[in-house]
Structure 1
Amino acid sequence: MHCQKIATEYYQSMHALIFAVEEINGDHELLPNITLGFQIFDKCTTLRRSAKGVLLMLSGGKKMTPNYHCYREAPLAGIVGDSGSTHSILMAEILGLYRYPQISYLSTSPVLSDRNRFPSFFRTIPSDEVQMRGLAQLVSYFDWSWVGFLADDDDYGQFGLQMAKQEIIRTGACVAFSENILIGQPNRNAPQLAKVIRESSAKVVVVIASDHNFVILVEELLKENVTDKIWVASEGWVTSALLSEEKFQVVLVGTIGFAIHGAKMPEFTKYFQRLHPLKDFHDPFIEEFWEQTFSCTLLNQNNLFQLNSNSTIQACTRNEKLESLLTENYHRIPLNVYTAVYSIAWALQGLLNCVQRTEPFHYGGCSSIISFHPWQLLYYIQNLNVKTRLGNQIVFDDKGNPPAIYDIVNWHVSTNGTLEQVVVGSYDLSASDGNTLKINSPDITWIDSKTQVPVSKCSPSCPSGFRQMIVPGKPSCCYECARCPQGQISNRTGFIGYPQPENCLLRQMAFGLAFAFCISCVLAKTITVIIAFNATKPGSRLKQWIGLKVSYCVIVFCVFNQFCMCVMWLIFSPPFPELDTNTKPGIIIVYCNEGSTPAFWCMLGYLGLLATISFIVAFLARRLPDSFNEAKFITFSMLAFLSVWVSFIPAYLSARGMYTVAMEVFAILSSTWAVVICIFMPKMFMVLFRPHLNSREHIIRN
């Protein structure tokens, strides 16, 4: 299949490079009096041709002589390519030895971000590391928890598969199957893959592959009438013209995925539409492209007899116009090629604008634009921050990657029966509002033109009165529904009292602050009683402390200390929800992890400290006159309070899961009622059963 068919998008990419070079050469501000040239090598999807093209370029472009540049021509500034990650890795390992700048327009493997291994590699397309995180967010957005995976068995597919699975599992989804498209086999193992897909209960399949590999599987799926799956596409095939043919629509309609961010290029569209075999005879691909585009054969001396003898072959009139077919001026891959060419041009402009003694290199001199070292140009590419005529920003991070932005596209059936890709959202890591994933759901069309999101779950949600029970040996998404025990039935679908992050943050903080306030009030009351009795003594200086100010100060001071402790807890090690799978085999207990155990015990210890101080103060004041004295009641209340929380410590440490919560709730209620009963029950007894003792006359008489 190699080199037998023109790929329209790559043919457009080739002309995007030519168009960019011609546009730069016609620009009087960018590289004035400098003419850029180019050489184009067709790799033909083979590694051997990619290596050959690199060595030819390094040798001067005419004859391959490793380690020698044999021709006195303009210097090689940089290389635009390759499209495939595997091919780019091979090229980058060679070019990196000489520090020749290489800018790929379609290679997405995260391996290429390794600056130690590939010091001169850049790209105008984001890394797969970003794309796979985005695909996982896309799957999570539609609540798909049962997902299959297909991937090419090359660098692009395998690294993407590894990261996508990891990210999707982290969001809580499960993998139904994971299969490789064997690109070394002519049939790509399509029959076996089609069988796995057909028999799987997963309705959603994530495909990380290139179009020329995936199309063989799609043809097999079409043959076996597998038409009920939703395909989540990587950028490798989501905008493929090869897969957009009318015959594939029953299989691929409803596909959604990440596409290379595109933009309108009206001038390039006009340039491309003006191409014609009679005018562009220097283009070795124009005739083949013309015949393939218009489904006809161009007349020449070699095929004239064949055309005359075979009535089924249609001859091209040469009056065909590309305007009638290629009316779309929204480009993706050509935009990346265009940006790559401009990156090299602006780097050369930086070299041209060099001023003596300000050059960043160690000798402080400037190199000539017609004689420079490749590593010198590499510096200017790494530090680019400019805009092209189209308004897109050219900037690379320290790993050679551009700003990460993707278009989310959905496959609809167009009016002429072919598949078209409609932009329905975006994934932008630099979004100003922080919302990286934006999807316009009403614009999405699924299988059979349905607008409702398809469901892809291993097991349906359990109805009210049933719970999910994990099946041994199966993923967590595949469960059985078992009837809930008596008293444990939820009237809402979905795992009662599920801990939320905000609840975990606030539950212990609210408890600590509330109890600190209560105990500080008791402490303030005790201090007020002592001051009141001692202030009546002749010559006492405590009279100035009688009033509400002392009580307020005590309460504010005690609560403020607890508040500061809680704030430090939240900042450095806040509580968070966690899954406990060890306490009870077969059952997942969701609970709030305290984050910092020392912080939790410090909070409880502070409450104990306040209660102890209140107990000591009240105990020392127990001998004050009984009629006015509440110190005895406060002493008993603090004694009960401390008893409950001292016994809470071993009980809490020996409990697990939900029992720790039960222990803490019991301690809170017990200590609260102990304080209330010890302080207020004697008063209520006097008011209700001994009212004659609760009078001014009785108190004065005593």
Structure 2
Amino acid sequence: MIYAIERINNSTLLPGIKLGYEIYDSCSDVSKAVQLTVKLFPELDAWNNLPSCNNTEVTPTVKAVVEETFSELSIAISRILSLHYIPQISTASSAPSLSDKLRFPSFLRTVPNDKHQTRAIAKLIRTFGWNWVGIIASDDDYGCSAAELLNAYFKEERICTAFSKTIPSYVGHPSMQKNIDNLISELKNSTANVVIVVAKGPIVIKLFQEAIRMNISRTWIATDVWSTSREVLNMKDIDKVGAVLGLMFQAKLVEGFTEYLQNLQPPPYGATNSFLEEYKNIRFGCTKDYRKFLECMDSLAKKCSPVKMKSALACKVKNVSLANDDYLVEHIEWSTPYRVSLAVAAIGQSLQNILCRNGTCIKNMNVSQVELLKEIRKVQFFLNSDPYTFDENGDFSSGYDIINWHTLLRPPVYTAVGQYNTSTSELRVDETLLFWNTKDDNIPFSDCNKPCPPGYYKKHSLISCCYECIPCPEDHFSSETDMTECTKCPGHQWSNNGSSRCENRTVEYFQRNNPFAITLMSFAAFAILLLLMIGIVFINYRDTSAIKDAGGNYSYLLIASLLLSLVDTGFFIGQPSDIICKIRQPLYGIGFTLCLSCIVIKSLNIFVAFQSTKGGNIHLKYQPAALLSGLTAFQLCLCLIWIILKSPFVKEIDTKPKVLILQCDEGSYVAFGMMLGYTGILAFTNFILAFNGKKLQNRYNEAWCIKFSMLIYLFVWTIFIPIYINTSDVYQSAVQVIAMLASIYGVIACQLLPSLYIILFKRRKIRRIRNMNNLLNLSKTRISKLSLENRNGAFSSATSQQDGRHNSFLPQDKINFRSTKQTVRRRHKSY
């Protein structure tokens, strides 16, 4: 303080004006601080000078106060000074409540608001991954507000408080020891390894003494009040309390102050400095205790109690007031003179702005305290050529240094290991410089629970930071520690309970080497060979009446469609792919629709023949090729729409652990059902048409064959639907292959094999029957001609020609004329 004032007096800042000072020691006592404040301002007699609205009735001699280290003292003093708006600048009081300008309008400070320190502490704790901490705070404004802010910021950072305890704000409190004992008991029982202490140095000493005695070691977070306290740092056995991290206000060296401390001189004539006199006597005075110590040392005694703060020059210098050494330089807290110099510089610059113009200052010192306060709030002042200002709340925006105590060194020291920027809320810590005072010197653990290992996840309890480690369920995994949830394995992988990784599943599908698949493929291959043989026979006998009776060219289409369906069964066996899934169902649907369409042509022929036997006069006015194309084209369009809108695809089914089933998903089961439904409609139509022709009297009755083949198809696919729906493993494809083979074999057995039998074994008999029918047709024609001569010839001739066209469309051996003679009919039956 004295150096900062003398520096201004010796500068050109206030030419012709000298600043004076009065310095008192409040001994950190609120009552004494208030008493000294009243002593500084005798003009502020509370009985005779009541506060007024304009605050101009009293102009005190003391223009400003640079004051206390502790917030509770600053609050008490401010309640007096604010009555008359006397500027009050604190160099260390950081309680957030002091930023309230309604309650403390004349208060300013050269340190940041404590909300920045508490936010920095929260970020510091989060940086090291701690989430379970304890708080010990003094029961004054500073401690209570800091604890409240810490809890608020802890919520933002997801940090939980294991305990939050208060302690009396001064050592002489009657319940101090009881509180210390309770705190030690809490520390013993708590799992929190990190404890924040918001209290003054003497209280911390009391706490640490008991912690050392009880062998309690923790990681302590120190606030600015005691983080640089030499008394705490130099405690006996301080290394046993654990690691200490703290925050202190950022500061710079004040120019020339080191040299000033090394050459302290008595005050000028007329001035007194009892602090300096006391220090010189303690440091260099030849006291009785120190002489005894020297005598002890001369006697070569092993145990001599040194005298604190004594210099080796003591009892050797002639003039104690002129003696100096480096003791203060080595032990001073450098942030304090920096903050004091800032306060003095702010007052000096404000006075210059008020009193001085063009290098000349008015020597009238009756400056209004209100005017000075307004100027200080907005002034830009300089220290070491660096500019500074107060914010709108009278606070300072300097940052913090993060410091770490090295208690194993002798003497113990603290070093800066990081910084906190109050403007950006950015925290930086160099972890390589940290000393943790642990066996392995690693970061201490301070969580509510131990980390959940891989294979487990955290299940939180009522306390958000506490959780239970739960094993990951089957088919889930966690690869890192402390995961909040387990990740589901990809579809092609699986895992057991409590797994940290997934294993590949065994891929299953209806494989070709499966005995069941080999059996089905054998049946399909046999059917293909059988169809090829039948096709060869049909081609060799293509000009015979038997082939024409079997359907002529449509029989070849029937065989080709069945071959297509048989080839398609191969797509249902083996590993599925998207292409295979897209083509296998439509290929079967189109192939079998073509087969059923060919049978529809034959069924219509039979139906017409049946109507003719009843004496009907039906003209079949249609083109078989056009009908066949139309029926097949409808199914083709249906399948194309299916593929375009929602086509089948490969689906991975993981319902079984360790197994991944590859299966074709039909995409749209509505379209799949419509495809099967359409073939079912065709089959049912064939059955109805053939059923109406079942009474045709012929040894080889095509209607019966069609009816039975369609009954087989309808029966097979009716059973197929529930079985297919309830089958979800690799054998779902096998179910459809069985249905396809059964339908194909039904058509072969009921449609093609009878025709093959007739061609190979009944060809001559059919030829004789056909010749006899031709003879009967010739007889009928002659009889019709005779009738025409006796009646209207034109009408009978037209009827005969019409019957000829009708009969030429059907196999001739299947037509029985009711108009023929009885003897001819009996001869026909004799074959």
TM-score by length of 1: 0.61
Aligned residue runs from structure 1 range 286-325, under 5 A: 286=276, 288-290=278-280, 294=283, 298-299=286-287, 316-317=314-315, 319=317, 321-323=324-326
Tell me what 2:256 maps to. Answer: 267
Letter in 2 for 1:377: L
Aligned residue runs from structure 1 range 218-297, under 5 A: 218-226=208-216, 228-252=217-241, 254-275=243-264, 282-286=272-276, 288-290=278-280, 294=283
Deviation at 1:157, TM superposition (A): 0.5
Letter in 1 for 2:315: T
Tell me what 2:389 maps to. Answer: 395
Deviation by residue 1:351-391 (Cα, 9 ceiling, x = unmatched): 01369xxxxxxxxxx99741121111111111112321x24
Letter in 2 for 1:133: R
Which of 46, 51, 57 is the equivalent residue of 2:40?
A: 57
In the alignment, does 2:317 pair up with 1:331? no
Could you tell me how far apart the structure 2 residues matched to 1:26 and 1:48 are?
A: 36
Deviation at 1:393, TM superposition (A): 3.1
Could you tell me how far apart the structure 1 residues matched to 2:17 and 2:266 are?
A: 30
Aligned residues: 484
Could you tell me how far apart the structure 1 residues matched to 2:151 and 2:207 are?
A: 21
Aligned residue runs from structure 1 range 546-561, under 5 A: none
Deviation by residue 1:220-266 (Cα, 9 ceiling, x = unmatched): 1122222x200011111100111111514224553112111121235
Could you tell me how far apart the structure 2 residues matched to 1:243 and 1:57 are?
A: 33
Deviation at 1:443, TM superposition (A): 0.8
Which of 99, 103, 116 is the equivalent residue of 1:130?
A: 116
Deviation at 1:82, TM superposition (A): 2.0
CA contact (8 A) 2:110 2:396 kept: yes
In the alignment, does 2:20 pair up with 1:32? no
Q: 3-state DSSP class of the match of 2:417?
A: strand
Could you tell me how far apart the structure 1 residues matched to 2:32 and 2:426 are?
A: 39
CA contact (8 A) 1:277 1:290 kept: no
Tell me what 1:208 maps to. Answer: 198
Tell me what 1:198 maps to. Answer: 188
Deviation at 1:457, TM superposition (A): 1.1
CA contact (8 A) 1:218 1:248 kept: no
Which of 470, 473, 478 is the equivalent residue of 1:490?
A: 478
Letter in 2 for 1:382: R
Could you tell me how far apart the structure 1 residues matched to 2:194 and 2:21 are?
A: 44
Tell me what 1:76 maps to. Answer: 62
Letter in 1 for 2:349: W
Deviation at 1:282, TM superposition (A): 3.3
Tell me what 1:478 maps to. Answer: 466
Q: 3-state DSSP class of the match of 2:196?
A: strand
Distance 1:177 1:290, change over 3 A: farther
In the alignment, does 2:401 pair up with 1:419? no
Deviation by residue 1:281-335 (Cα, 9 ceiling, x = unmatched): 933233543566x5x86448xx999999999686842647431563378710111
Identity across matched positions, percent: 28
Letter in 2 for 1:234: T
Could you tell me how far apart the structure 2 residues matched to 1:291 and 1:450 are?
A: 47
Tell me what 1:6 maps to. Answer: none
Could you tell me how far apart the structure 1 residues matched to 2:486 and 2:316 are?
A: 70
Could you tell me how far apart the structure 2 residues matched to 1:317 and 1:204 are?
A: 48
Could you tell me how far apart the structure 1 residues matched to 2:362 and 2:370 are?
A: 11
Tell me what 2:782 maps to. Answer: none
Tell me what 1:173 maps to. Answer: 159
Q: 3-state DSSP class of the match of 1:179?
A: strand
Distance 1:174 1:21, change over 3 A: same
CA contact (8 A) 2:477 2:486 kept: no
Deviation by residue 1:373-428 (Cα, 9 ceiling, x = unmatched): 1111111111112321x24432011110111411111101375x122110111111
Which of 168, 171, 176 is the equivalent residue of 1:182?
A: 168
Could you tell me how far apart the structure 2 residues matched to 1:342 and 1:156 are?
A: 26
In the alignment, does 2:24 pair up with 1:41? yes
Distance 1:207 1:379, change over 3 A: same
Distance 1:23 1:461, change over 3 A: same
In the alignment, does 2:458 pair up with 1:441? no
In the alignment, does 2:391 pair up with 1:378? no
Aligned residue runs from structure 1 range 531-680, under 5 A: none
Could you tell me how far apart the structure 1 residues matched to 2:59 and 2:391 are?
A: 32
In the alignment, does 2:49 pair up with 1:67? yes
Which of 335, 349, 353 is the equivalent residue of 2:352?
A: 349
Distance 1:21 1:279, change over 3 A: closer
Q: 3-state DSSP class of the match of 2:372?
A: helix
Tell me what 1:85 maps to. Answer: 71
Which of 18, 30, 34 is the equivalent residue of 2:2?
A: 18
Could you tell me how far apart the structure 2 residues matched to 1:126 and 1:248 are?
A: 33
CA contact (8 A) 1:246 1:419 kept: no
Letter in 1 for 2:20: G
Deviation at 1:41, TM superposition (A): 1.9
Deviation at 1:279, TM superposition (A): 9.7
Q: 3-state DSSP class of the match of 1:219?
A: helix
Tell me what 2:93 maps to. Answer: 107
Deviation by residue 1:466-487 (Cα, 9 ceiling, x = unmatched): 2323445xx2322222333222
CA RMSD of aligned residues (A): 4.3
Could you tell me how far apart the structure 2 residues matched to 1:57 and 1:330 are?
A: 27
CA contact (8 A) 1:469 1:479 kept: yes
Distance 1:252 1:426, change over 3 A: farther
Q: 3-state DSSP class of the match of 1:112?
A: helix
Could you tell me how far apart the structure 1 residues matched to 2:236 and 2:351 are?
A: 47
CA contact (8 A) 1:238 1:259 kept: yes
Could you tell me how far apart the structure 2 residues matched to 1:449 and 1:334 are?
A: 38
Distance 1:424 1:78, change over 3 A: same
Could you tell me how far apart the structure 2 residues matched to 1:449 and 1:121 are?
A: 47
TM-score by length of 2: 0.52
Could you tell me how far apart the structure 1 residues matched to 2:16 and 2:50 are?
A: 29
Give the gaps of 5 or more residues in structure 2. 52-57, 297-303, 318-322, 488-633, 647-666, 676-831
Distance 1:435 1:121, change over 3 A: closer
Distance 1:414 1:285, change over 3 A: farther
CA contact (8 A) 2:246 2:403 kept: yes
Deviation by residue 1:540-585 (Cα, 9 ceiling, x = unmatched): xxxxxxxxxxxxxxxxxxxxxxxxxxxxxxxxxxxxxxxxxxxxxx
Deviates more, 1:483-492 or 1:198-207: 483-492
Deviation by residue 1:150-169 (Cα, 9 ceiling, x = unmatched): 11110000100110122123
Q: 3-state DSSP class of the match of 1:482?
A: strand
